[in-house]
C-alpha cells in the first residue's frame, strides 16, 4: 500500500510541474511580473492563516529569514527568465543542480561531511549538464548561465532552510519568501501590464499551484523519511517532460535526453550516498 507521504509528494511534484508550465505559458509577461503572480497568490492564503493561528510573523531570526527570502527570489526570478526561452524539461533538469550546490555550501557553513560517493554524483550530474547544453541547440549560453545562478541560489535556500527549520515555524519561513519576493518584484512594475481575458486563469492559478505544492511537500516530509521520499521528487521532471511535449511540442533527441538522465542519476546517487548507513565493523 502506498504511504501518505508518497501520495503527498506525488501531488506536490505534479502541482509544481503545472506551476512551471503555467509560468512558461505566461512568457508574454515580464519575468518579474510572473514572479509577483507566483508570490502574491501564495501570500494571499498564507498570511491570513498565520494571523488566525497566531503564528509569529516576524520570527526569531529576521536577518536569516530575510536572507532566505532574498536568495529565494533571485533563484526563482532567474529560473523564470530562462524558462521563457528554453524547453521546460531542460530548465528544470539544470536547476536540479541546486541540491548539489547546497551540499557543498552545507559542508562549508554547517560543517556537514561530504562522502566520496557524493563527489562522484556531483561529477555525473555536471556531466549531464555539459551533454545537455552541448547537444540541445535550444539552450543558449545566457539561459544556461541564468539556470546555474538559479541552482546556486537554490542551494543557498536549502542551507538556510536547514538552519532555520528547528528555529522557526515553516509558514514563517514561507511567508518571508513571499513578502520579499513581492517587494523585489515591485521594483519592475514599470515593465508590467494588466492581464486580459483568459490570461487571468494562469495568473491566478500559478500562485494557487505553488501553494498546493508547498503544502503537500511539507506534509510529505512531516509524515515520511527523507530517504524514502527524495527519489519521488524527480517525478517533477517526468511531469515536466510530458507537459512540455503535449503543451509546447518539446521533443528531445537521444543525446540531450542522455544529459537529462545523467543529471537525474547524479542527483539520485547523491541521495543514496547521503542516506547510506556505514557498515558495521566486525569485532
Give residue limits of the domains in the chain.
Answer: 4-114+140-251
Degrees (nearest 5) of the Cα angle 267, 172, 176? Answer: 80
Question: What's the rounded Cα separation, in Å, for the pair 2 and 235?
Answer: 15
- Residue 279 confidence (pLDDT) above 90: no
Q: What integer best gives the mean pLDDT of the chain?
A: 90
Local confidence band at 251 (pLDDT 50, 70, 90 cut-offs):
very high
* 186 or 235, greater pLDDT: 186
Given a contact cutoff of 8 angstroms between Cβ atoms, the answer to whether 153 and 97 are in contact is no
Degrees (nearest 5) of the Cα angle 279, 280, 283? Answer: 145
Percent of the chain with pLDDT over 90: 68
User: What is the tens place of the pLDDT at every residue in 30-60?
Assistant: 999 999 999 999 999 999 999 999 999 999 9
Given a contact cutoff of 8 angstroms between Cβ atoms, the answer to whether 38 and 205 are in contact is no
| Per-residue pLDDT, 118 | 87
DSSP state of 57: S
Query: Among 272, 229, 206, 256, which residue's Cα sits nearest to residue 93?
Result: 256
Given a contact cutoff of 8 angstroms between Cβ atoms, the answer to whether 210 and 19 are in contact is yes
Q: How far is CA 121 from the centre of its chain?
A: 19
Question: What's the rounded Cα separation, in Å, for the pair 195 and 275?
Answer: 46
C-alpha cell at 22: 503555467
User: What is the tens place of the pLDDT at every residue in 93-115?
Assistant: 999 899 889 888 888 888 888 88
DSSP state of 35: H
User: What is the tens place of the pLDDT at every residue in 136-160?
Assistant: 999 999 999 999 999 999 999 989 9
Local confidence band at 277 (pLDDT 50, 70, 90 cut-offs):
low
Mean pLDDT to the nearest integer, 72-86:
96
The answer for residues whose C-beta is within 8 angstroms of residue 246's C-beta and 6 or more apart is: none
- Residue 26 confidence (pLDDT) above 90: yes
Amino acid at each position: 500500500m502506498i504511504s501518505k507521504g508518497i501520495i503527498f509528494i506525488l501531488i506536490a511534484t505534479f502541482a509544481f510541474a503545472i506551476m512551471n508550465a503555467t509560468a512558461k505559458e505566461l512568457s508574454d509577461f515580464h519575468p518579474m511580473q510572473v514572479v509577483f503572480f507566483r508570490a502574491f497568490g501564495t501570500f494571499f492564503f498564507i498570511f491570513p492563516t498565520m494571523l488566525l493561528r497566531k503564528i509569529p510573523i516576524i520570527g526569531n531570526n529576521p536577518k536569516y529569514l530575510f536572507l532566505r527570502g532574498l536568495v529565494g527570489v533571485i533563484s526563482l526570478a532567474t529560473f523564470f527568465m530562462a524558462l521563457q526561452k528554453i524547453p521546460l524539461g531542460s530548465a528544470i533538469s539544470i536547476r536540479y543542480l541546486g541540491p548539489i550546490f547546497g551540499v557543498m555550501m552545507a559542508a562549508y557553513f554547517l560543517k556537514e561531511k561530504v562522502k566520496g560517493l557524493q563527489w562522484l554524483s556531483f561529477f555525473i550530474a555536471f556531466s549531464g549538464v555539459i551533454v545537455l547544453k552541448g547537444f540541445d541547440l535550444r539552450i543558449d549560453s545566457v539561459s544556461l548561465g541564468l539556470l546555474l545562478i538559479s541552482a546556486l541560489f537554490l542551494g543557498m535556500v536549502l542551507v538556510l532552510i536547514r538552519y532555520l527549520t528547528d528555529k522557526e515555524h515553516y509558514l514563517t519561513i514561507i511567508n518571508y519568501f513571499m513578502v520579499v519576493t513581492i517587494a523585489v518584484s515591485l521594483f519592475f512594475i514599470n515593465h508590467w501590464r494588466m492581464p486580459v481575458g483568459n490570461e487571468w486563469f494562469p495568473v491566478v492559478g500559478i500562485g494557487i499551484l505553488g501553494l498546493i505544492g508547498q503544502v503537500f511537500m511539507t506534509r510529505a516530509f512531516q509524515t515520511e523519511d527523507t530517504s524514502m521520499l527524495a527519489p519521488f521528487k524527480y517525478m517533477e521532471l517526468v511531469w515536466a517532460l510530458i507537459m512540455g511535449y503535449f503543451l509546447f511540442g518539446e521533443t528531445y533527441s537521444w543525446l540531450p535526453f542522455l544529459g537529462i538522465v545523467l543529471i537525474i542519476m547524479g542527483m539520485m546517487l547523491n541521495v543514496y550516498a547521503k542516506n547510506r548507513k556505514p557498515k558495521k565493523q566486525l569485532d
